[in-house]
Chain A
Amino acid sequence: MNTGKKILIIDDDASLQHIYQTKLTSEGFTVFQAFEGKEGLMLVATREPDLIILDIMLPGGMNGFDVLEELKRSAIWKNIPVLILTNLESEGKVAKTIGAHRYLIKADTSLREVIREVKELVK
């Protein structure tokens, strides 16, 4: 089912990372966390996640879109589904253009919905 599925979360918000981890792990997923873009990409390379949850506002020179572009540029990882979870409004179109699968606004989405989406995308 969900066991064994690896989820990489790239988000600089520690509190959210905590709750992500708690919730997802309780659902049976394996969770990896990165707090900035470059770290995230490294983890993609080393952990080969089945899904990436990506925030947009990231520190360290690369924002979520940059990461997404990088992913899509690589031959190996461009097919990993990406779920953008952000509080930025209406960059959805841009995200979709670059190749994200979903674009959700944290403030408008309940945790339950997030889990549902994750389960959906991991399939």
Chain B
Amino acid sequence: MFYNVFTILMRLKSIKSKLLTVLLLTGLLPLSIFGILNIRSVQTDLHKEIANKLLLLAEAKEGQIFAYLDSIETRTIDFASDSFIQERTKEILKTAPETADSLNNYLLTKKSLGELAGILIMNPEGKIVAATLAEEIGKDESKDIYFIEGKERVFVAELIGKDPHFGLSGDNFIVTAPITDKSSGELLGVIGNVFRVDKLREILAGEFQLKKGALSSRGGITTTLDIYLVNKRKMMFLWTLAKSRFHEHSKGMTVDTLPVAECLEKSREKVGRYKNYDGKEVVGASMCIPKLGWILLIELATQEAFAPIAAMQVRAGLIIFLFASLIIFTVLFLAEKIVAPIKALSDATEIVAKGNLDYRVKIETGDEIESLGNTFNQMAADLQKSVERLKNYSNELEKKVRERTEELDFAKKKDEAILASIGDGVAACDKKGHIILFNKTASEITGFSFSEVIGKQYEESLKFVSEKTGLPGNDFIDEAIRTGRRTRMANHTLLVRKDGTKVPVADSASPVRDEKEKITGCVVIFRDVTREREIDRAKTEFVSLASHQLRTPLSTINWYVESLLSGDMGKMSEKQRKYLEESYRASKRMIGLINALLNVSRIELGTFVVEPKPTDIAALLKDVIAEFKPQIEEKSLLFEESYAKDLFMIQADPKLLRIIFQNLVGNAINYTPENGRIKLTLDRRKSDILIKVADSGIGIPKNQQDKIFTKLFRADNAQEVVTDGTGLGLYMVKAIVDHSQGKIWFESPNERKGTTFYVSIPLKGMRVKGGTKELA
């Protein structure tokens, strides 16, 4: 609970209110509680005291009443036993009432004093025979209780309202006593003293005392003390308050209050607080006088009774109010003192925060807040300095950024210029395949503008298709991104332009890596190779055409000569024959040259095909050697062959193999002088087949060995031996071997020391190679 209060407190918005609330709570609250408790206890004490006082008073008053009653009874008895009265009464009874005058006079003179309103004497029948007032004589009191009881003993009773005596009724009373003959004891009559209630009132009211010379009578209690008597009919018949509304309407007032009921019903005397006949809250004590059925009530209005309490409360209230005011003023004053500098600080912070760094706060309270103020000023000063420095840095930075931007701009423009001027189409894409770069040539080739392709998937603008199948050929781009390797476009790739026309292109895709070697994209470079293709085609066509044109006359020569040589046109002389044979050979050589040129062209253009099929290499080799048999015999060469045992068919293009063998064997034969030796070996090794052609020929000069496989190259010593060699043979062989996944090399210690050529073909065999032409 306290925590909640506390949190609410802390939400108050100002120090003032916080201080105020706290002080008020901590000051006033205990004070109030203390005050209330105090008042309560005082109230209780007072209550007790008053009750006690009232009780005492009631008891005293009761005593007084009893004393009074006693006195009037005694008086009455005295009267009753007065001999004169007795005598006279006796006489009156016996004789006529006239003689009562003397009794009356006697009564009058001797006996009626003060509160006695009158005396009357009744005969034993109840008739008044003598009285101090003539009008009383003759009344019949036989029915009245005081007569009946008075016959026996002294009796006090109230006068009933309906039966006035001596002009009194109601609240006054009569005391009766029997008059008995002294000697005989016979009842002579009943004497009745009618007393005015005033005396009792005086007694009760304390006036009697005052009259008798007492200095005070009210015990210090003031105005509302009400002492009154209530009879058994619940009627107030005696009151003491002279002037008050009590008085005005209390005569004949029914008092049906709690203590009255208690007395009459339970004979219980009460002291406490209750509501009196007027409905007012009173403190009262009751005394029951059962003898007469009277109830003595002493009541004090609680208002008056507890007036001191009220006063106390007022005082307490005043004190609290003063205290609260004191607190408030103190707080306000104090708060002002504390809050003002804080507010100054807060305002200063706002000002500085808004940008006015020159502002300094002035606090001279001499306490911690002043030191805070100083620190603040220091901070503002430092801030100012920092801001200055920062401004300078910022300016510097701006300048640098500007410079750098210019540099970058320039570099960018340079790059753009370079890119634009690259003759090839350059397109770059990111990892996801979105185009991020597209140069001018790319636009020209594809027909898409830069803005049409940038950011979009490359497939939309770079549409490569295979020339042969028409299927998309974009895989090489994906492959580059995926594998991180540079890939080439497949041959015969076409690019579909924006307008749908197809353009033959060539080139490659490369992955782009960042500094961490992660693939971030791809660069595709492509060229419109229409021109190249045309040139190629022209070249091949040219070559084809040329070879065709060259061959045609030669084949005509050949056949005609052959026909002649076979004797179709008749017999010839030996000389004629010889000449013709020369021609034939020459033309054959020419054809060989043309074929060689054709092959070289095919090799250069990469257009030759490789069509492997299961080939018996040994058989092929033997076949080739058979072709050369004439030459071997002519030069008397020793030709050895050695074939491995477990040879089998391997995948190879027999035409190409033939060319290889023809060249190697031919070279061996050509460049080995007569009576030389040639050894041919065919071996099977672990993963390949090895062909060895070893000759004892002219060898290859060391300083020319590195050129042996080059196109049109002929070693000097070879030139001497064979004048019309083409220099294309080994070039072709090497090309074929390279395209067959094989290897070729040679050993030749030096000139005239012989040469050995080695060719290895993998057991896997040759791979299919697409091309348009076969080699001749």
User: Which residues of A are at the interface with B, using a C-beta cutoff of 8 A?
Assistant: 13, 15-16, 19, 22-23, 26, 57, 86-90, 92-93, 105-108, 110-112
> What per-residue 1/0 map shows which CB atoms of B74-107 lie under 8 Å from chain A?
0000000000000000000000000000000000
Q: Are A107 and B555 in contact (CB under 8 A)?
A: yes
Tell whether B499 is near chain A: CB-to-CB under 8 Å. no
Among residues of B, the one whose C-beta sits closest to the C-beta of A56 is B548
Q: Is the CB of A19 within 8 A of B773?
A: no
Pairwise interchain contact B563-A111, C-beta atoms closer than 8 A: yes
Residue in chain A with minimal CB distance to B611: A93
Residue of A nearest to B569 (CB): A22
Question: Residues of B at under 8 Å CB distance from A?
Answer: 544, 547-548, 551-552, 554-556, 558-560, 562-563, 566, 568, 591, 594-595, 598, 772-774, 776
Tell me if A106 and B568 are in contact (CB < 8 A).
no
A15 to B776, CA, bound (A): 25
Some 29 contacts from A to B, beta carbons below 8 A apart, are A15-B556, A16-B555, A16-B556, A19-B560, A22-B568, A23-B563, A26-B568, A87-B547, A87-B548, A87-B555, A88-B544, A88-B548, A89-B544, A89-B547, A89-B548, A89-B598, A89-B773, A92-B774, A105-B551, A105-B776, A106-B555, A107-B554, A110-B558, A110-B559, A111-B558, A111-B559, A111-B563, A111-B566, A112-B566
What residues of chain A lie closer than 8 Å to B554, measured between beta carbons? 107
- Per the bound structure, the CA–CA distance linking A86 and B595 in Å amounts to 14
CB distance from B359 to the nearest CB of A (A): 98
Separation of A88 and B546 alpha carbons in the complex (Å): 10
Q: Are A23 and B555 in contact, with the CB atoms below 8 A?
A: no
CB-CB under 8 A from A110, the residues of chain B are 558-559, 562
Asked if residues B773 and A22 are in contact (CB atoms below 8 Å), the reply is no
Looking at the assembled complex, report how far the CB atom of A27 sits from the nearest CB atom of chain B, in whole angstroms: 11
Q: How far is the CB of A61 from chain B (nearest CB, A)?
A: 18
Further 16 A-B residue pairs, CB within 8 A, beyond A26-B568, A93-B774: A16-B555, A22-B563, A87-B555, A89-B774, A89-B776, A90-B774, A90-B776, A107-B555, A107-B591, A107-B594, A108-B595, A110-B562, A111-B558, A111-B562, A111-B563, A112-B566
Check if A107 sits within 8 Å of B558, measured CB to CB. yes
Residues of B within 8 A of A105 (CB): 551, 776
Please, how many angstroms separate the alpha-carbon atoms of A66 and B370 in the complex? Answer: 115
Q: How far is the CB of B546 from chain A (nearest CB, A)?
A: 10
Question: How far, in whole Å, are A56 and B501 apart by their CA atoms in the complex?
Answer: 32
Report the separation of the CA atoms of residues A57 and B551 in the bound assembly, to the nearest whole angstrom. 13
Q: Give bound CA distance, A63 to B591, whole Å.
A: 24
Q: Which residues of B contact A111 (CB under 8 A)?
A: 558-559, 562-563, 566
- Bound: A105/B566 CA distance, A: 21
C-alpha spacing A105/B592, complex, angstroms = 13
B551 touches A106 (CB 8 A): yes
Measured CB to CB, the closest approach of chain B to A84, in angstroms, equals 13
Q: How far is the CA of A14 from the CA of B772 in the complex (A)?
A: 30
Report the Cα distance A110→B552, complex, angstroms: 13
| Complex interface: chain A residues within 8 A of B776 (CB) | 89-90, 105, 108
Q: Which of chain B's residues has its CB closest to A19's CB?
A: B559
**Contact yes or no, A13 B552, CB < 8 A:** yes
What's the nearest-Cβ distance from chain A to residue B560, in Å? 6
CB contacts (< 8 Å) of A106 on chain B: these are: 551-552, 555, 559
B561–chain A nearest beta-carbon distance, Å: 9
CB distance from B580 to the nearest CB of A (A): 14
B556 & A13 in contact (Cβ 8 Å cutoff): yes
- Rounded to whole angstroms, the CA-CA distance of A11 and B379 in the bound complex is 111
Least CB distance from A98 to B in Å reads 16
B558 cross-chain contacts in A, Cβ below 8 A: 107, 110-111
Counting chain A CB atoms within 10 Å of each CB, the highest count among B552, B559, B562, B773 belongs to B559
Compute how far the CA of A105 lies from the CA of B598 in the bound complex, rounded to whole angstroms. 13
Distance in angstroms between the alpha carbons of A106 and B772 in the assembled complex:
20
With both beta carbons as reference points, the residue of chain B lying nearest to A109 in the complex is identified as B555
* Contact, CB under 8 Å: B548 / A23: no
**B659 shortest CB reach to chain A, Å:** 13
Q: Which 10 residue pairs across A and B have the least CB separation, nearest first? A: A106-B555, A87-B551, A107-B551, A90-B773, A107-B555, A107-B591, A90-B774, A87-B548, A111-B562, A111-B559
Nearest Cβ on chain A to B30's Cβ, whole angstroms: 121
CA distance A87 to B562 in the complex (A): 18
In whole angstroms, how far apart are the Cα atoms of A26 and B568 in the complex? Answer: 9
Give the docked Cα–Cα distance between A23 and B559 (Å).
10
Chain A residues near B544 (CB-CB < 8 A): 88-89
